Structure 1
């Protein structure tokens, strides 16, 4: 299987797993991706959580480029520097225009521009860059293991925020460019405008276009599904209510809820603890099914820690 994104042009289905921290998003995303790959689909699973644990789930060392895990499954962990690199490219593009207009900017000035925070959310920008990079890279499905709820909501808000910010930056860039060309025309005449309007390598326009594409993708029900993971606990259910509400406000298609670590007492143990946990989880599951107008996937609690291909394969049976 080739992992060269530049060689792929087909659109992929996109599945995003999100939810409260600690509910098992990474396990569910990894298990779903593994199940898809074992069914024959070319699948990539991407961790956008700054505190990566996807490699731990697979018991496989991962990096910032897709790594083959098994068969048609590859995995990648977002490099947080990607967001900073995108931001630095915008700052350097603006600085180049300022210098071209005759404004002196040394390295210290450039660093102050960079530290001023023109673009918010470096981790979220990095996540957007990876969505843009791999969503149209030709995999059948790309599964995203997103960061906890707060990060995910900022990720969803970021396309609109960046569209405004980069729009202002682009306007400034164009005004400075026009001023510089007008000044040169006094000396050079019409030759000052040769090549004008060639924005092929424009970092500002390029990032703005990628961010806009991701914003459209995240709201496209024909391609995108968001699965909210929760455990049968009150705090997780409450946070799921808020997250589903925000996703719907943002027009992000919510596919289903995944109730993870559901205790079902398979051995019919008669001890007080098992009976209590079984009853409590059954009541919480009933609450979830009554309160949400969404399909509910049930992932049973497994003995021990969930890690490694065999354990993920077991979880994946509940998710595809």
Structure 2
């Protein structure tokens, strides 16, 4: 009896409020819920590592600064191994040493002051350890997902310029070198191995250029460790007839010159160089 009277009172009240009966009560979003729309992020994944502010910053600018991520002890180990390589105490398979073009062969002495760059250190266990550091991969996974390939390894050294301005490195877009997509699943981890500023050659980024198209790429007439990572389910593309075709020929020729490999295509070069560092190797 009491339940019947309560139902009648509720029904009367609802009719006063909007003409609905108790049997037709429906839920409506509040004004706040009606306006809420989850932000769609194009470059980062939902894994609770990056803050909302960090994700928004990367979305707009294309880079993040994570300070003190790699320990001083690890950086020192990488430095020691780099110096050993420069002194030719160790010669890892496939590693490419590059020196300042202004230094003549007669002036060359095996030491770190003569070497400007070490590339392709994927077969050097000590340097490649950088690409497998859990603290690095924790952030890489925010961009690639759980299946991660280390595609290109490099340690950059910047000795004092010889006076001929040959130590300068122009702004460029790394995607020109990569025959795989989507580009949203590619990211580089770059770690300074000493204090850097504008005076000694710090990394320079042009904010927002990750969202545009590839710009014309060419070479001018004139210490950090890094690795480019990609999701292992990225797909290779055919670069014939694109702005990357010129670079394909250059890299294929260099691979033949330094390693004696007849790769024939940019895809084959990266298939040879890539290393799985986490998860499962799918298509790269």
The structure with more radius of gyration: 2
Name the structure, 1 or 2, with higher relative contact order (CA <8 Å, separation 6+). Answer: 1
- TM-score, normalised relative to structure 1: 0.22
